[in-house]
Amino acid sequence: MKLIRKGTFETNSSSTHALVVPHKVDNENWSLNDSLDHEYEFGRQESRLVEDWDEKLAYVYIVIKDFSEWNHNQEFDTAIDLKEFKRRVNDAYKKALDLVEYKPYDGDPKPDDVFRYVDSDGKEPLGNIHIMSLSGWTPTPYVDHIEDFASNGFLERILTDDEFLMKLLFNRDSYITIGGDEYRGYNIKTIGFEYDYGGMFEDNEFEEKLREYEKNNDVFLKGN
């Protein structure tokens, strides 16, 4: 694993997740629309774009919870207060309410519903919504192999920077892409898939385009 520039990792990976937060966001893109399928399993698949606030929150909260357990076992030295994180998310949600054109309905999920759902490993309903796969089983929320977040800067930003947290969760200019290296590698909007350029380990066009993209965006790559 090699840190090649601020906020970005390269690794021989199996799952390839890219988290992108623009330095400046379009105020028209503040959104509290939740996802339709509420898919909170973030592993390895061909390609999926995550841009609705509830799925982004589930992703981030799962990562923080996992690191909190590492910290409890003295395997990670960053202090994590889950109650404080939940408070910060709810404060950001309230601010977003004043910015969005379309307000959520009374029955739509709220941040505390996402927290409760993740805390119960998918056993509790998501507010009034009972999540069930087509096969009839209840999916367990997870993010696989979170180790990269220990040192790529993302965890520190999400735990300390309120503006960054709000932009990531509640502005659709920010997004997460889910993929795998057995498919087409990392996926970045306006650039495309890593392996369409031959792979990131070569000095190729994808690498050059990503460097240019990072002038206006914070990009965090998770691979493993």
pLDDT band at 71 (very low <50, low <70, confident <90, very high): low
- Indicate if the alpha-carbon torsion angle 87, 92, 95, 96 is positive or negative: negative
Question: End-to-end CA distance of the chain, in Å?
Answer: 10
User: Which residue type occupies 94?
Assistant: K
Domain around 177? 2-223
pTM of the model: 0.89
Kindly report, residue by residue over 114-169, the tens digit of the pLDDT: 999 999 999 888 887 777 665 556 789 999 989 888 888 899 999 999 999 999 99
- pLDDT of residue 7 exceeding 60, the answer is no
Count of domains forming the chain: 1
At residue 69, the pLDDT reads: 83
Kindly report, residue by residue over 20-49, the tens digit of the pLDDT: 999 999 999 999 999 988 999 999 988 999
- DSSP codes joined into one string, 62-88: HHHHHHHHHHHTTS--S---HHHHHHH
Query: 37: buried, middle or exposed (CB in 10 Å: 19+, 13-18, 0-12)?
Result: exposed
